[in-house]
Amino acid sequence: MPVLFIPGNAGSYKQVRSLASESAVHFQNVLQSDTNALDVGKRSLDWFTVDFNEDLAAFHGQTLLDQAEYLNEVIGYILQLYHNSHQSRRDSSLPDPTSVILVGHSMGGIVARTMLTLSNYQPDTVNTIMTLAAPHSRPPVSFDAEVLHTYKRINDYWRNAYLEKLPGANPLSEVTLVSIAGGGLDTVVPSDYATLASLVPAKNGFTVFTSTIPHVWTGMDHLAMVWCDQLRKSVVRSLYDVIDARRPPQTKSRTERMSSFRKWLLSGLEDTKRKRPAQVEPRILLTLKQSSNDFLPVGERLVLKELGARGRAMAYLLPVPPNDSLDRKRLTILSDQGQADGAEQLDVMFCSVIPSQQLSSSFSINIDISGGNTASSRLACRSAADDMIALPASTNSTQHPFDGVQPFSYLQVDLEELVEYQFVAILDKAVDARSGWVLAEFASISESKIDTSKTLSSMITSGIDVITGPDHPMMMEITISSLQSSLLAYELTIDTPSCDEPELFAPLVRQYISDPHESKFFVNARGVEVSMHGVAPYLPPPLEGNAGTNGLGLQIWSSPTCNSPMHISLTVDIPGSMGKLWMRYRTAFAAFPLLIVALVLRKQFKTYDDSGKLSIHCI
């Protein structure tokens, strides 16, 4: 089904090849032979691209409009290709496509949005747009008044559509727009401008930085957005997740698309209220040997330092504590075992005791590790695998989150969502001893938070310096609401002075802001440089909510086997912050030569006035 790639300012049509290649390879290797996938409408993506002859869309407003007008006509042509039976090998039981997915790089993303505002746009021919390093909020260079005027027209149209100020129904109500930004490494287009906060509400789109995306976990420069291998894999998989050839628009409904994009492109730790299915029926029957060793006391932390130690599959059960609204708790499970298909040695389930009369046939999966013992416990469980997320592996030898070491698995669930279960079961399926570890605990949310309400000025002068207690939760978090600006950079240091036992893993830090979705992960974190794309100069105000009011958040995972206080300090790095001024104010430097010429002229006029000569020493 059709996808149209739109190159950017002075871009080439060939830039589509990395993405299109990954798409073809992924379909052939994974989806083509997966009957479940084919049944739900997964088909190969056809990547179209356009040659603009390296036109400068960023510098000339009319070029932007011309390209958008051309592309609306391209869409019409592409759609009729699929009607044409000798042009397509289409399966005649599937409906003809009525819309095309757009992927735009840099100014191509702006052209994509422009297409929907023009008079030659055929309604509903575009419902999914993904942009790579596209400056949505502001033009990246503002030397042409026409570019500014065009931008204003396009952005006003989009804003007014979502604010329901356009006559008639909102033509953009079913459109999903995802903006991916490269971060500080993108020195061509300021990543601050990639934000959709002022244009599109959260139910129709979001902005995410590549450092947030699982298995990418790195920033990248402007051109790398199209050829980065890790990013192309995530982009292609997210696109395959949203398509459905059985429907004429070729994609799933808007809410399903949004949740697919969030699953593939966000870290999983965002504060979004996930619409969990109300009652997920337990499908797993877990039968255990009735032994008190497997049941942990309430409030105790599970620490497994190796797997398969007992020579057989073992289930460890954490009782779910009572829900106390004054001392809210949260379940956190961290393991170095990955979630890769087929290699799972670990299963996490939420279980409840079942009445003994219930038939075992009502469960679809039966896990029996009781060894045939008649005195066994039976639990009705549901798998938590869908809720587990990947975190970059952090050991004493890892340097960057993208080092390629198998990622950790992490689960974080508030106690309120587990009230209907009595146990959390962690199943170690290894039958021979192997290296690996699992940590699981119910931690008090208030104990996990480090309270700071520092103002910006006191941050600049003194910073933050905290020492946690010795028995602190595995995951600690700090939120500093006064740190919102893109113009400041910080240094974070984490010190665990004395460790009782060797750490299972090195400290892992996640630095995050909520809108845009920018998270940066730091592995083996002892001294870390923190900077973010929050509130930035010249950005228009957001469509809904307030920009950056949550401020900077830090999540710190540390090995609890250390059992020693953790010393955390965060200070403003003034010399480092100076560098942040360049991308946000660089056009001011273009005015500098003009200033110098004006000053020299003034001096010459003054001298001439004083002495009748242009200069004294006429050489």
Considering the rule CB under 8 A, would residue 67 count as an interface residue with another protein? yes
Residues 37-56 interacting with another protein (rule: CB under 8 A): 43-44, 46-53
CB of 411 to another protein, least distance (A): 25
- Within residues 191-220, the interface with another protein by CB under 8 A covers 211, 217-220
Of 167, 168, 372, 575, the one binding another protein (CB under 8 A) is 575
Confirm or reject binding of residue 73 to another protein (CB under 8 A). Answer: yes
How buried is 205 (Cβ within 10 angstroms: 0-12 exposed, 13-18 middle, 19+ buried)? buried
**What is the distance between the alpha carbons of residues 310 and 330, in angstroms, rounded to a whole number?**
29
Residues 99-158 that bind another protein (CB under 8 A): none
Query: Looking at 10, 31, 94, 466, which residue binds another protein (CB under 8 A)?
Result: 94
Nearer to another protein, 232 or 382 (CB): 232
Q: Pick between residue 545 and residue 579 the one whose CB is nearest to another protein.
A: 579
- Among the listed residues 6, 8, 11, 18, the single contact to another protein using CB under 8 A: 18
Which one, 353 or 598, has the nearer CB to another protein? 598
Task: Please report, as residue ranges, which positions from 235 to 254 form the binding site for another protein (by CB under 8 A).
Answer: 245
77 binds another protein (CB under 8 A): yes
Nearer to another protein, 460 or 467 (CB): 460
Cα 140 off chain centre by: 23
Q: Which residues contact 566 (CB under 8 A, 6 or more apart)?
A: 467, 468, 472, 476, 494, 495, 496, 507, 556, 558
Q: Please tell me the count of residues contacting another protein according to CB under 8 A.
A: 89
Binding-site member from 470, 502, 545, 579 for another protein (CB under 8 A): 579
Interface characters, 509-538, with another protein (x: CB under 8 A): -----------x--------x-x-------
Q: Least distance from C-beta 610 to another protein, angstroms?
A: 7
Give the Cα separation of 571 and 493 in Å (integer): 9
Residue partners of 517: CB distance under 8 A and separation at least 6: 206, 207, 208, 209, 212, 266, 267, 270
The piece of 198-206, 396-404, 465-473, 538-546 that touches another protein (CB under 8 A) is 396-404
Q: Single out the segment in contact with another protein by CB under 8 A; choices: 254-262, 359-367, 456-464, 609-617.
A: 609-617
Subset of residues 323 to 382 that bind another protein, contact rule: CB under 8 A: none
| Residue type for position 586 | R
CA distance 553 to 510: 8
- Residue 229, judged by CB atoms within 10 A of its CB (0-12, 13-18, 19+), counts as exposed
Per CB under 8 A, the list member of 229, 327, 414, 471 interacting with another protein is 229
Compose the 468-507 pattern: x for residues touching another protein by CB under 8 A, - for all others. Answer: ---------------------x------------------
Please choose, out of 132-140, 343-351, 450-458, 571-579, the segment that lies near another protein by the rule CB under 8 A: 571-579
Region binding another protein by CB under 8 A among candidate stretches 13-21, 103-111, 336-344, 427-435? 13-21
Question: Distance between CA 603 and CA 607 in Å, rounded?
Answer: 6
- Residue 383 as a binder of another protein (CB under 8 A): the answer is no
Q: How far is the CB of 111 from another protein (least distance, A)?
A: 11
414 contributes a contact to another protein by CB under 8 A? no
* Minimum separation from the CB atom of position 53 to another protein (A): 7
Catalytically annotated residues: 106
| Residues ≥6 apart with Cβ < 8 Å to 467 | 565, 566, 567, 568
- Distances in Å between the Cα of 5 and the Cα atoms of 9, 116, 226, 576 are 13, 16, 11, 37
Say whether residue 188 binds another protein (CB under 8 A).
no
For 149-152, which contacts have Cβ atoms below 8 Å and span 24 or more sequence positions? 149/61, 150/61, 150/64, 150/65, 150/114, 151/61, 151/110
Q: How far apart are CA 297 and CA 317, in angstroms?
A: 9
Reduced to 3 states, what is the DSSP secondary structure of residue 16? Answer: helix
Q: Which amino acid is at 524?
A: N
Residue of the chain from 90, 237, 252, 510 that contacts another protein (CB under 8 A):
90
How does DSSP classify residue 30?
Answer: I
Tell me how far, at minimum, the Cβ of 588 lies from another protein, in Å. Answer: 11
Minimum Å distance from CB 229 to another protein? Answer: 4
Residue 98: both structure tokens together: 């009525």
Query: In the bound complex, what is the minimum distance in angstroms from residue 463's beta carbon to another protein?
Result: 16
Taking the C-alpha atoms of residue 496 and residue 472, their distance in angstroms, rounded to an integer, is: 12
Restricted to residues 267-326, the positions that interact with another protein (CB under 8 A) are none
Reference 476, options 514, 521, 509; nearest CA is 509
Contact between 435 and another protein by CB under 8 A: the answer reads no
Q: How far is 21 from 475, CA to CA, in rounded Å?
A: 40
Based on CB atoms, which residue is closest to another protein, 418 or 525?
525
Cα–Cα dist 48/33, whole Å: 24
Q: Does position 619 bind another protein by CB under 8 A?
A: yes
**Do the bridges between strand 302-307 and strand 389-391 make them parallel or antiparallel, or are there none, so unpaired?**
unpaired
Give the nearer residue to another protein in terms of CB position, either 185 or 467: 185
In a 10 Å sphere around its CB, with 0-12 CB exposed, 13-18 middle and 19+ buried, how is residue 116 labelled? Answer: buried
The Cα 443–Cα 505 span in angstroms is: 19
Q: Is 594 in the site for another protein (CB under 8 A)?
A: no
Query: Could you give the 3-state DSSP secondary structure of residue 155?
Result: helix
Closer residue to another protein, CB minimum distance, 18 or 377 = 18
Angle of helix 17-26 relative to helix 229-242, nearest 10 degrees?
A: 60
CB of 254 to another protein, least distance (A): 23
Give the residue with the Cβ less far from another protein, 398 or 558. 398
Measured CA to CA, the distance from residue 491 to residue 518 in angstroms comes to 18
34 in contact with another protein (CB under 8 A) = no
Contacting residue, 25, 163, 343, 590, with another protein by CB under 8 A: 25
Residue 241 vs 491, nearer CB to another protein:
491
Q: Which residue, among 351, 331, 473, has the nearest Cα to 422 in the 3D structure?
A: 351
Identify the residue among 116, 154, 172, 224 touching another protein (CB under 8 A): 224
Q: Are 194 and 138 in contact (CB under 8 A)?
A: no
